[in-house]
């Protein structure tokens, strides 16, 4: 059974709600959960009301490999196609649920 430990919560150099974890096997992971409730400054509300939004799609939860310093490592080894996560989970998946699904029977 793989165990993990939270190293840092809400890592500042990545997307909001990205947590940094160390695994007992020596690997490190970042788990990003999208934030849908980021406040909009009141001065932008009038401007934004003139923009038509076709569809709002909730973000997905993503698991990334990283090193011990929190530097992301591209999941497919090809940085030319963007940063590729190791795993992707549906919107609403929590950090802990994503880790458990990715690692199998994981334990904090």
Q: Could you tell me the pLDDT band of residue 41, with boundaries at 50, 70 and 90?
A: low
Contacts 24+ apart (CB under 8 A), 39-47: none
Give the mean model confidence (pLDDT) for residues 24-44.
Answer: 76
pLDDT at residue 4 is higher than 60:
yes
pLDDT tens digits along 45-71: 555 555 555 555 668 899 999 999 999
The domain segmentation of the chain, as residue ranges, is 4-58+69-103
Asked whether the whole model's pTM tops 0.75, one would answer yes
Alpha helices in the chain (DSSP H): 42-48, 95-103
- Are 102 and 68 contacting, i.e. CB atoms less than 8 angstroms apart? no
């Amino acid at each position: 059974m793989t165990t993990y430990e939270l190293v840092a919560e809400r890592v500042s150099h990545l997307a909001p709600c990205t947590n940094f974890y160390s695994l007992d096997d020596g690997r490190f992971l970042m788990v990003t959960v999208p934030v849908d409730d980021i406040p909009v400054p009141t001065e932008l509300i009038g401007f934004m009301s003139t923009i038509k939004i076709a569809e709002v799609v909730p973000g997905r939860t993503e698991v990334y490999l990283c090193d011990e310093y929190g530097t992301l490592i591209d999941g497919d080894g090809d940085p030319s196609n963007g940063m590729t996560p190791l795993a992707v989970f549906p919107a609403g998946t929590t950090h802990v649920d994503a880790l458990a699904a990715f690692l199998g029977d994981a334990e904090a």
